[in-house]
Amino acid sequence: MARAPHRRGSAGARPAGVLRNGTFRWFAAGSLGTSLATWLVRIVQDVEAYDATGGATSVGMVSALQFGPPLLLTFLGGRLADGRLARRALLISPILLVTVCLGLIVADATVGLGIEVIAVSALLLGGTTAIDLPLRQTVIADVVDRRHIPAAVSVGSASMQIGRLIGPALGGLLVSVSGPPAALWCGLCCVSLTLMSALVVGPRMRPVTGKPGEKPRYGALRYAWGDHTIRFMLVLAGVVGIFAYNFAVIFLTLGADLSADGARAYGFLNMAIAVGSILGAVLTVRLPQVPVGVALWGSGLGLALSAAALAPTLAICLVCAFVTGACSIGFAVGTTTVLQRHATREFRGRVIAMQSLLMVGTTPIGSPLIGALIDRGGAQMTVFLVGLACAGLALLTLAIMRPRAGRGDGDNGDRAAETRP
């Protein structure tokens, strides 16, 4: 009897299957180290900026600097992922993270962590994220076989979210008890895990095929815009990204309104988002990743933000933050999975870079705008309206640009590397 075809959600495509791949285990460990170090530094930057000025606008500006470099450097990360130097490029982000941590430690010991120092370090951290994010997302398809891509994206995202769960809580605790240097030294220890991961994963990646100096048939932008499914996913990523992915300014100000200790409340809210994100990562493994479902995740994210704005107590806001995290990771994993499976290897890195640009790179527009609106109209009303706008525009995008049936999760014919031990 002929063997039944493999289906998503079967045992081979679940996390237990992909975790049998030793190379991917190292990759997931490196993602965890990167996430921990990045969030430790971000907590230091956000708290110090808020303490220095006492306003949401300054936090929004710092957040814009943290995420602003994707506007300029994301395509560099995508180009590196598509190029022949992708294996060595994995070392770039840990080296930059070490530079940021050491720079802040030296600044704290000499001139202090003023708003100028925080701004420069936030810009460098944003550059690290801009290069690392598309590269790390693209590498997934080069270390696992194609049927494991959805589970691998979910596990990789879960690793990042575990860092988001531990990092803000640990960072807030270390900053409040021992000061910023303790959190920064802890971040340096986490980066060592990322360095080891890069040294192991790089040589085992599937090499990029093609002759040296060979140019693509046409540009990445033309390729992405010419494909209906990719175009839909990228527009949806931009719509949701500019409104919803501004968690720093949104939840820091909501926490300050609901608690006398705003920094600690912000840490707890980040923990709730991370726990919800882990649940969302688990759910995405068991659900089919199609464009319609991704749009619904984005709409749910907006509604969760509106609910958080209406929360009368910190406890209820924590529940809303939990749902926000689940919807956020569901949207991010769904978008990445559809693009990973649909884009050809020739352009995959740059397509993922476009996604990162639209989801993360729009923060420099959204964060300062939302921060200024919060300073003028209050956190609750502003976040409530922003959440409704996100949900409504996600559904509107779905209604206008819904991909044709059968193209949501198409096979691009480009199989990834077979599982390596």
Instruction: Give me the pLDDT at residue 413, please.
Output: 42
Give pTM, 2 decimals: 0.66
- The reply to whether 351 falls in a domain is yes
Torsion angles phi and psi, residue 249, rounded to 5: -70, -35
- The reply to whether 275 falls in a domain is yes
* Residue of 238, 289, 220 whose CA lies nearest to 76: 220
State which of 50-59, 342-351, 355-364 shows the largest mean pLDDT.
Answer: 342-351
Residues 373-389, buried b or exposed e (16+ Cβ, 10 A)? bbbeeebbebbbbbbbb
Distinct helix (H) and strand (E) counts, the chain: 18, 0
Over residues 59-63, the mean pLDDT reads: 70
Mean per-residue pLDDT over the chain, rounded: 75
Is pLDDT of 175 > 60? yes
- The reply to whether 190 falls in a domain is yes
- SS3 call for 245: coil
Could you read off the pLDDT of 288-340 as tens digits, one per residue?
667 787 888 888 999 999 999 999 998 999 999 999 988 888 888 888 888 87
Domain of residue 201: give its range.
21-205+219-401
DSSP 205: S
Instruction: Give me the pLDDT at residue 406, please.
Output: 45
- The reply to whether 197 falls in a domain is yes
**How far, in Å, CA of 238 to CA of 41, rounded?**
26
**How far, in Å, CA of 64 to CA of 363, rounded?**
6
* Residue of 194, 161, 230 whose CA lies nearest to 94: 194
Could you read off the pLDDT of 112-156 as tens digits, one per residue?
777 788 888 888 887 787 777 777 777 777 777 777 777 777 777
Tokens of 31: 């993602």
Could you read off the pLDDT of 235-282 as tens digits, one per residue?
888 888 877 887 878 888 888 888 877 777 887 887 888 788 878 877
The Cβ of residue 173 has, within 10 Å, a number of other Cβ atoms equal to 15
* Residue of 283, 248, 278, 229 whose CA lies nearest to 46: 248
- SS3 call for 360: coil
- The reply to whether 421 falls in a domain is no
**How far, in Å, CA of 98 to CA of 231, rounded?**
36
- The domain tally of the chain equals 1
Is pLDDT of 409 > 50? no
Is pLDDT of 162 > 80? no
Contact in structure between 190 and 33 (CB atoms under 8 Å): yes
* Residue of 170, 152, 129, 141 whose CA lies nearest to 34: 129
- The reply to whether 241 falls in a domain is yes
Instruction: Give me the pLDDT at residue 11, please.
Output: 40
Instruction: Give me the pLDDT at residue 114, please.
Output: 78
Is pLDDT of 6 > 60? no
Q: Which residue has the higher pLDDT, 84 or 231?
A: 231
Tokens of 13: 């495509």
CATH number at residue 93: 1.20.1250.20
Could you read off the pLDDT of 69-95 as tens digits, one per residue?
656 666 666 666 665 556 667 777 788
The Cβ of residue 16 has, within 10 Å, a number of other Cβ atoms equal to 11
Tokens of 382: 């502003």
**How far, in Å, CA of 170 to CA of 176, rounded?**
10
The one-letter code for the residue type at 362 is: T
**How far, in Å, CA of 249 to CA of 371, rounded?**
6
Instruction: Give me the pLDDT at residue 323, please.
Output: 93
Instruction: Give me the pLDDT at residue 3, please.
Output: 40
CA angle 321, 326, 329 (to 5 degrees): 115
- The reply to whether 103 falls in a domain is yes
DSSP 179: -
- The reply to whether 249 falls in a domain is yes
Could you read off the pLDDT of 93-118 as tens digits, one per residue?
788 888 888 888 888 888 777 778 88
Give 362's pLDDT tier (boundaries 50, 70, 90).
low
Give 416's pLDDT tier (boundaries 50, 70, 90).
very low
